[in-house]
Structure 1
Amino acid sequence: MASHRKSRPAGTRVAGIRTPALATAALTSVALLSQSANAAPEADDKPSLEEVEKKVDDLYRQAESATDKYNSAKEKTTKQRKRVDTLLDDVAKRTQKLNEAREELGSFAAAQYRTGASAPDTATFLLADTPQDYFDQTQLMNRMTGRQKVAVDDYVTQQSETMKKRQEATESLETLTETQGDLKTAKATVQRKLADARELLSKLTAEEKARLAAIEREKQQEAARKADELARQQAAQQKAQEEAAQQQDSGSASAGSGSSSSTAPADSSYATKAEKALAFARAQIGKPYVWGAVGPGSYDCSGLTQAAWKAAGVTLPRTTYDQVNAGTTVSLTDAQPGDLVFFYDDVTHVGIYIGNGMMIHAPKPGTYVREESIYYDGESAIHSVVRPA
């Protein structure tokens, strides 16, 4: 007997629902389109070369900022450690004096005990927290000899001063621990930023690295052009000042008795010091940038400027944001060789001006101390110019 059951249409089930072949094909198309849509952005996820360059520069700047924090914490740690060592030495000496004073009082107590005099008082004294509390009792103080009173006073003084110094040492140790924590954090931040920058650069192809080098050359050319422009402005300004001075001298000579004046420039002492600082800085050209380094084999930016001016007999603070306040701010067109040029809003970089829009500086990790235009990172990067002496 023939079956009357209808044949099942070709197709599949989706979530328990029977679907015809046409619907299946449509669903397949949608799935493929969805996969394509999701896959497309993957090719666009890779940052452009310009974005990589900006990110690397930002990371280096952040590393410099962290380096300044590291330098500051390191300086504080060094000072605090010296203070702690001094306090601990002082505490040790005072403890020795306290022990000597206690021994002297003990000898008095022992003498009283042997003679049977004031034995209860002696026992009370030895159990007392503060000897002065006990000896302040009128009946006992009246029985004490002058020598004994001096011994008690000395003991009380030594005990008070020793306790005070111990408290200072404890607080200084706590501060030292805190600054050591800041030092560790800053160091980890620098290392992380530098590692991130190296990772980004390592992912570049040979072609991308070549293009990045070409971009850098273009920036250097523009920086050199801006330096030449500043040099012309400074030369013109200097010429105008010299002509004005000559006119003033001529007027003074004609108005006077004909005697001439050859007074040295007011800034001659600065020029002498600056010459020494620049001679030192030039001798460091070619040495590597190492964050936290102050020489003699390597430097970071503020380590170099500090060492250069130290060679001229001028002491500068360790960090850029302290060095920027260690002198007189001058305009860029008035900048003289030896002046410090600071960069970025957060004052995280510094170089030493050599004239004609150029400076000597320790740029960043992976580079060396070198001469370079002060416009190496664009005109807007310049924060201020400071004359440190």
Structure 2
Amino acid sequence: MQTTGDVQQQVDALYAQAEVAGQRYDGAREQERALLRRAVLLQQHIAEEQQQVNTLAATVGSLASAEYRQGGGMDPLMQLMFNADPQDYLERATHADQADASAALSLQDLRGIQRRLTQDRAEALTQLSALELLQQTIAGSKAEAQRRLGAAQALLGSLNDQQRATIQQAESDAAGAAAQAAGEALPPDQGPASDRAAAALAAARGELGKPYVYGATGPGAFDCSGLMYWSWHHAGVSLPRTSQGQAYAGQRIPLSRARPGDLVIYYGDMHHVGMYAGNGMVIHAPYPGARVRYERVDDMPVAAVVRPA
């Protein structure tokens, strides 16, 4: 029979795996939103270019037909299309006959817009393929996170009432001790490094007790990077959405020089993040089923400390 400690260790590992999948989900969703915005703008551009093509094609056709009827010669549109040196034809047409020049110049514009239209349509197809791959990543990451969370809940469900109460009490005691330590007064030189950091810290503190929900950025719930995104947004700073992105969102500093408001990135793959709160504590959204709380900064392996600009 597994001990409470064995189950807790396995549950912690499953929560970590779920969070990795959750951060992958967050990152893919962020990319999806950016790609959709670009796709909308590109489609608008394509529609405008198509309208220009239609207008210029009608203009070129009218000019070329009129010139052909008047002169009986080769349609200038055809002359330009078959000319080995279109620029030479344009120069001669400009001096020879204004109608020829107008048709030629309109055709030159038409060709340029058609090239851009072809390029933009190819780019739109590329974006569509990228979007389909992103949506597969989103679906896969969500399903993986749900599998890991389900396995963790099943393990916890295998405990008896007394064992579950023991785990909950241990977490409650640890959270209470961390909150008490974090609430101790800080020396002036160990406070937030800037007014923005102070504002971000105040925002994070205001969310203590809110539940962890992966993919959430508030106000009712948060995942780890969502809490950092929310808090620094209230300080006027736009952070990347994921913990991996946030790991490169400012100046890297040693943990020994951490100040309240700094981001503390955890684990080698940087799948978790918290906010340094002073006195060796962080505020973070730990894992599903838990709530935003204080914890000792070194309770997890620190990968980096980042001070947002």
Q: Classify the TM-score, shorter chain.
A: 0.7 to 0.9
Identify the residue that residue 220 of structure 2 maps to in structure 1.
297
Q: What is the CA-CA distance between 1:94 and the residue it aligns to? A: 0.6
Distance 2:25 2:177 in 1: 30
Q: Residue in 2 aligned with 1:71? A: 26
Does residue 133 of the first structure (1) align with residue 88 of the second (2)? no
Tell me what 2:303 maps to: 383
Per the normalisation by structure 1, the TM-score is: 0.68
1:154-233 alignment, distance < 5 Å:
154-213=109-168, 216=171, 220=174, 224=178
Q: Which residue of 1 aligns with 2:250?
A: 327
Return closer, same or farther for 1:133/1:48 CA change in 2, 3 Å cut-off: farther
Contact 1:223–1:374 (CA<8 Å) still a contact in 2?
Answer: no
Residue 185 of structure 1 deviates from its aligned partner by: 1.5
Structure 1, residues 57-97: CA drift from partner, whole Å, max 9, x if none? 11110111111111111111111111111111111111110
Quick check: 1:231–1:357 contact (8 Å CA) kept in 2? no
Contact 2:77 2:107 in 1 (8 A): no
User: What's 2:230 paired with?
Assistant: 307
Task: Decide whether the 8 Å contact of 1:132 with 1:156 is kept in 2.
Answer: no
Whole-angstrom distance in 2 between the partners of 1:104 and 1:222: 78
Quick one: distance in 2 between partners of 1:369 and 1:183?
25
Match of 1:26 in 2: none
Return the offset for 1:334: 2.5
The 3-state SS of whatever aligns with 2:249 is coil
Structure 2 unmatched ranges of 5 or more: none
Quote the residue 2:296 is aligned against: 373
Cα distance change of structure 1 residues 124 and 146 upon mapping to structure 2, 3 Å threshold: closer
Query: 1:97 is matched with which residue?
Result: 52
Q: Which stretches of structure 1, 4 residues or more, deviate above 6 A after TM superposition?
A: 137-144
Query: Which has the larger Rg?
Result: 1
* CA distance 1:224–1:140, shift in 2 (3 Å): closer
Q: What is the letter of the counterpart of residue 385 of structure 1? A: V
Contact 2:77 2:103 in 1 (8 A): no
Give 1:245-260 correspondences, 5 Å limit.
none
Deviation for aligned residue 1:136:
4.7
User: In structure 2, what is the equivalent of residue 6 of structure 1?
Assistant: none
CA pair 113-279 structure 1, distance change in 2 beyond 3 A: same
Residue pair 2:191, 2:259 contacting (<8 A) in 1 also: no
Using the alignment, how far apart are the partners of 2:301 and 2:89 within structure 1? Answer: 78
Q: Larger deviation: 284-293 or 47-56?
A: 47-56
Distance 1:105 1:309, change over 3 A: same
Deviation string for 1:205-225 (max 9, x for gaps)?
A: 22332343355467x289859
Cα distance in 2 between the residues matched to 1:284 and 1:387: 21
Task: State the TM-score, normalizing by the size of structure 2.
Answer: 0.84
CA contact (8 A) 2:196 2:236 kept: yes
- SS of the aligned residue for 1:338 comes to coil
Q: What is the match of residue 53 of structure 1?
A: 8
Alpha carbon RMSD of aligned pairs, Å? 3.4
**Counterpart of 1:105 in 2: which secondary structure?**
helix
Q: Identify if the C-alpha distance between structure 1 residues 315 and 197 changes in structure 2 by more than 3 Å, giving closer, same or farther.
A: same
Aligned-partner Cα distance in 2 for 1:269–1:59: 34
Distance 1:352 1:114, change over 3 A: same
Q: Identify the structure with bigger relative contact order (alpha carbons < 8 Å, sequence gap 6+).
A: 2
Letter in 2 for 1:325: Y
What amino acid is the match of 2:307? R
Give the number of aligned pairs.
302
8 Å CA contact 2:212, 2:289 repeated in 1: yes
CA shift, 1:300, in A, is 0.8
Cα pair 2:22 2:145 within 8 Å, conserved:
yes
> How high is the sequence identity, in percent, across the aligned residues?
36
Structure 1 residues 374 and 160: alpha-carbon distance in aligned structure 2, compared to 1, 3 A threshold? same
Structure 1, gaps ≥5 residues long: 1-45, 126-130, 243-264
Query: Which deviates the most, 298-307 or 132-141?
Result: 132-141
Distance in 2, matches of 1:276 and 1:335, equals: 16
Larger deviation, residues 131-140 vs 189-198: 131-140
Change beyond 3 A, Cα 1:327–1:223: farther
- State yes or no: 1:341 paired with 2:264: yes
Secondary structure at 1:372's aligned position in 2?
strand
Amino acid at match of 1:148: A
Counterparts of 2:44 and 2:36, CA distance in 1: 12
CA distance in 2, matches of 1:122, 1:292: 63
